[in-house]
Amino acid sequence: MRNKVRCCVIGVALMVAGAAQAEKGAYLGASLGQSKYSGSFSKGWSVVNANDKPTGGLFFGGYQFDSKFAIESGFGVMGAYTGTAAYQLDRSNFRYHFYENAVVVYAAAKGTIDLGSNFSLYGKAGMSGNNSIYKESGRAKSDNDKIKYNAMGAIGVQYQIAPHFIVGLEYANFGKIIKGAEMSVSHLGVNGRYQF
């Protein structure tokens, strides 16, 4: 019984020491979840049906200066927004299939509040450079739109499950993805990160 108690005490002490060491340093991580496209590509046509909540993912890295502040940058592919759109030209009605896939690159400051019991709440604020790969059928259009720069923000909760490994849930909004259109993208994902 005493050996079990000693092992538990030593284990907890090592975890606390490891957590203290992991407060500062570089980290790498990934997130996987559901993206959400909102808004419209163009005036004058309506979406008949669409898959606007595809699976998307992010890779990110940063540097934790202390337990409350970090800087972070990341790259993500938001997944394909596909569907069918309809529009009217003169007296004729047309339909075409479209494909949109947003790519985001961001840099942000990250602030963290400790909630206790290895849980913490965090927020991110920074800039995002968004691009989209867009294709249409029936209109012979396929292009790669220019980069759209926006303010981006995120909020999340995280849990430290090991001295150098943290898991979390995050909602991030990257803003508009197309110049001259009202289409924007956000992402809700489960993430994991390793801190060196």
- Reported as a single tens digit per residue, the pLDDT across 12-21 is 333 333 344 4
pLDDT of 135 strictly over 70: yes
pLDDT at 145: 61
Better-scored residue on pLDDT, 188 or 136: 188
Contact 114, 70 (CB under 8 A): no
The per-residue pLDDT for range 65-120, each reduced to its tens digit, is: 998 999 999 999 999 888 777 766 677 777 777 778 889 999 999 999 999 899 99
Confidence band of 128 (pLDDT split at 50, 70, 90) = very high
Helix intervals (H) in the chain = 2-22
pLDDT attached to residue 162: 92
User: CA–CA separation, 32 vs 192, rounded Å?
Assistant: 9
Q: Quick one: which of 166, 169, 137, 150 has its CA closest to 67?
A: 166
E strands, the chain, are 25-38, 45-51, 55-64, 69-89, 92-116, 119-136, 141-144, 148-162, 165-176, 184-195
Q: Coil, strand or helix: which one is 54?
A: coil
pLDDT at 24: 86
- Interval 51-65: pLDDT, tens: 788 999 999 999 999
Q: According to the model, what pLDDT value does residue 170 have?
A: 98
Q: Which residue has the higher pLDDT, 99 or 189?
A: 189
Q: What was the pLDDT predicted at 5?
A: 38
Give residue 44's pLDDT: 56
All structural domains of the chain: 2-195 (2.40.160.20)
Phi/psi for 161 (5° steps) reads: -95, -15
